């Protein structure tokens, strides 16, 4: 395991004020996305709770909650005194990514349905687009 102390890569954290998604979820999602996109690699040190709290003006407890949950889920580990580090478990990442993908698709289909289109309409539209490409 490489610990790149000098490279504390950041991830994009844009908090949505109006969103119904709780902040800790938003943090978790942002980190996971960054892991998915390979912006965060194994062993990269994440910003400390304090830095996160001060930078984005969030309650350190919330940041801690996000990190703790990620640790439980296995996406990061903590070293006492050093901080929090990314852990990339390929299987897990794959699984998670799959989960996200499925969820997005499901939500997309639901949205289409709400608009009044059927799944077959969706299929046709997709084919059209793919052909055009």
Partner 1 sequence: MIRIKNLNYWFGSKRVFENFSLEIRENEAVLITGSNGAGKTTLLRLMAGVFFPDSGTIEYGQALGKNPKAGIGFISDQISLYQSMSLQEAIDFHCQVHHIKEFDAAMLAEAKLDRRKKIKDLSVGQKLIFHLSLVLSARPRLLLLDEVLHAIDPYLREICIRYVLELLTLGRTTLVMINLNYYDIEYIPQRVIILRNNAIALDQPMDSLKDKVKKIVSKVEIPGLPTFHERQFTDCFEYFVYPFEKSIVKNIDCEVFDLNLNDIVTAFIGGEYA
Contacts with partner 1 by CB under 8 A lie at: 15, 17-25, 49-50, 53-54, 56-62, 64
Cα–Cα–Cα angle for 41, 44, 50, rounded to 5 degrees = 135
Least distance from partner 1 to the Cβ atom of residue 80, Å: 14
- The closest of 55, 86, 58 to 70, measured between CA atoms, is 86
Three-state DSSP at 46 gives: strand
For partner 1, which is the closer residue by CB, 33 or 48? Answer: 48
Tokens of 41: 């690699």
Least distance from partner 1 to the Cβ atom of residue 59, Å: 5
Helix (H) or strand (E) holding 85: strand 83-86
For partner 1, which is the closer residue by CB, 25 or 89? Answer: 25
For partner 1, which is the closer residue by CB, 45 or 62? Answer: 62
For partner 1, which is the closer residue by CB, 31 or 87? Answer: 31
Least distance from partner 1 to the Cβ atom of residue 89, Å: 27
Q: Which residues on neighbouring strands pair with residue 106, listed in sequence order?
A: none
Those residues with Cβ within 8 angstroms of residue 83's Cβ, 6 or more apart along the chain or in another chain: 45, 46, 48
CA–CA separation, 43 and 26 (whole Å): 22
Least distance from partner 1 to the Cβ atom of residue 123, Å: 27
């Amino acid at each position: 395991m490489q610990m790149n102390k000098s490279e504390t890569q950041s991830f994009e954290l844009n908090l949505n004020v109006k969103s119904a998604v709780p902040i800790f979820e938003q943090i978790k999602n942002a980190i996971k996305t960054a892991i998915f996109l390979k912006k965060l690699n194994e062993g990269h040190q994440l910003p400390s709770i304090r830095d996160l709290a001060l930078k984005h003006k969030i309650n350190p407890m919330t940041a801690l909650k996000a990190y703790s949950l990620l640790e439980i889920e296995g996406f990061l580990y903590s070293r006492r005194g050093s901080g929090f580090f990314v852990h990339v478990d390929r299987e897990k990442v794959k699984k998670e990514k799959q989960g996200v993908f499925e969820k997005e698709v499901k939500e997309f289909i639901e949205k289409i349905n709400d608009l009044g289109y059927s799944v077959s309409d969706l299929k046709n539209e997709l084919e059209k687009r793919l052909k055009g490409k």
